[in-house]
Structure 1
Amino acid sequence: MSATAPSAPVADLSFAKRTTLTIAASQAIVGAAAPVAISMGGLAGHYLLGADKTLSTLPVTGFNIGVALGALPAAMLMRAVGRRNGFVSGAMVTALGGAIAALGLFETSFWLFATGLLVIGLGGAFVQQYRFAAADASPKIFKPKAISWVLGGGVFAAIIGPQAVIHTKNLFAPVEFAGAFVAVIGLGLLGALILSTLKIADHVEPVAADAPPAAPERSLGAIVGQPRFLVAFICGVTSYALMSFLMTGAPLAMVGCGYSAEQATLGISWHVMAMFAPSFVTGNLIARFGKETIVAAGLLILIVCGLVALSGIALWQFWLALILLGVGWNFGFIGATAMLTDTYTPAEKNKVQGVHDFALFGTVAFASLMSGATLNWFGETAEAGWVALNWILLPVASVCLVLLAGFVLRDRRLAARRG
């Protein structure tokens, strides 16, 4: 070997970084469709509906259902045609969803619009696989950072998506919001172009010549039955569902409390930036303090978010609560995802990741639907509905925190017995 040739682990790390940066760029572009769908879905649904606004957040629910329904097919497609081709296909689906949603607005059809958001969600299922692809293409030491870098691309999505809304939503006036979903078509097509350059391998951990044969692939039940899997799954799903629950209702609550659609959109922009900006350091924090500690911090921040939201309805209180909601989601979800990757082997990843995301986004879809229903059922005013949302958040996050603490204590006791 030449004296200047890189060793295999160094080459693997260099490849992993290049791959992760490409995926992060795709997260920034294709991922920008999500804040468009979330910030505009409820408002556009409210605009399209008649007197009964109970289903106003159904389009956002459709988006989340699309992510859930697309999880397993996305995993199966990428297993059949490779991640690059699968990701390109997913970006094209996002563009198609933008076209259907825009058509629904032009036709003043609530159900066609909701279908468009469901299709955007199907494309979003592929976006949710980005973090796993980056982790699987990385050496073990780089996996938490790879996840964080990809989700860090969401910082730019948080800027691109809401800015696209602000500058295009009235492009086809008097048809409200249609321009924002025409912009989604462009985001999907540009993302497909970036993803077409992707060169990706699955695992890059060097394998010694005398390494023992790989363990047989376990059943899904055996994997799911692990205490670590269950705790990681519950904390990750809860962090995401609570985030969706509040985020979906926030624009409607803000407009109902007298703020403009632009102020509500900017609130979602701050929220999405808070979701992804910590990702630049979350990997380092996990390496220093441990995955469980970061998940616990995320759950505590979600509790503080609920307390801030309950303290009043000034604009800064809405925005601060949304920022805390984003940071809490980041720590809780990235930490739980990192915990989850410890529970399965590379050969088991496709079925585990697909089932995980199906269950995750099925729960998130239910949470987004219940957000609109809660606003309508439990509050005679927008303020009362917003208060109801946050009183639901507090006990749910607290129960997960207690569950996580019990798992950590159990692990320490077992380690002490073995040691």
Structure 2
Amino acid sequence: MPVPAPAPAFPISRRAFLGAGLSALLLPGVASADRLAAPSPDLESFIRSEMRKANIPGLAAGYARDGVVRFAQGYGMADIAQQKAVSANTMFHIASVTKTVTATMIMRLAERGKLTLDEPIARHLDFAVVNPRFRDTAITFRQLLTHTSSISDARYYEIDFRQNGRDAELALPDFLKQYLAPGGVNYSDAACFSAARPGAAWGYSNVGFGLLGLLAGRIGGMDMREQTRRDIFAPLAMGHTSWTIKDTPQSHSAVPYDLVDGAPVALKPVGFPDWPAGMLRSSISDFMKFVAASANGGRSGGVELLGAAAMAQMLDMRTPAGLPEWLSGQGLGWMESALAGQARPNHWGGDPGVFTAVYLAPATRSGVAIFTNVDASAENRTAVKNIADRLFQAAA
């Protein structure tokens, strides 16, 4: 069950690299083949060494600068049994890194005047979402985006909503009504909402991001998955990105692994109903286009993901009460913590058999991402942070 990681690690919950070929796709936001950086021997050696130390079966890594993907590479094995190597097009379950996409979709709607961040969400819903301890205090979009809504995952962790090997059968609206609305089969005054007034304190909430996805669908006039395909994935030519297990081709899928006595054991992928919080699957060649835009004022190549002001607002870090010590700030979807002594906007993700991370350096318009197909561990977290730092050095 995904939970926030203990300090000093970043909360890895989705809900808290041995050479394979480089794939350079001639798509928006991606450098052409003669401009895509060839991996230096030192970088290659470093990544492989970190993989060996952390016993990572497969990994994909990339970096971008000035809105252009400069490097995207796969390492190790996507499927050990089939001896299938990771490529730049291998699709990994990116877990809670998904939240950065959901937050971006909400900001696109805000840019179009469809919502304001500080308005109550209630008028967009057909069921009540009210903290029973503070019935006079409205929950807003900003609170959901910053994990300060007081919607709690405590009850969520008591019930295992995951389904092994397939997408969740419980629809997002039903999941949310059953969890958040009084009288719902999974509703609890004590466990579905925290003791803090909405807006008063930080509390990581997968359910809150599930609610953002539903709200985006209601306000945008179509399921948020369709909106992201139309407004984000298609313009950025992200052809190896999917919201569902069933739409992730097995030929492109990274098998998730657990380490048992140091040996990788294959797991089934997991599906869960609050898909806006962590169900996205994407390749490094695809997702680096999103990272490139996020690090570059919202623009990658000729595609404007967000306006510069909206992108800056997402990365404007605050320090709400209750922010855990491993974080230095909370933005809109994005968080902030130290990497090699420098505060970086970022997000981590973890679920059974996957561990992922993305970091931005807006001052240099650079971004990096690392996907792995193994459970999070202290060794894996250290390796991913070390690789992220080395990628930023390569991007400089």
Please say whether Structure 1 and Structure 2 have the same fold, judged by a TM-score greater than 0.5. Answer: no
Structure with bigger strand share is 2
Task: Place the TM-score, normalised by the shorter chain, in its bin.
Answer: under 0.3
Q: Which protein shows a greater Rg?
A: 1
User: Taking structure 2 as the reference length, what is the TM-score of the superposition?
Assistant: 0.25
User: Taking structure 1 as the reference length, what is the TM-score of the superposition?
Assistant: 0.24
Structure with bigger helix share is 1
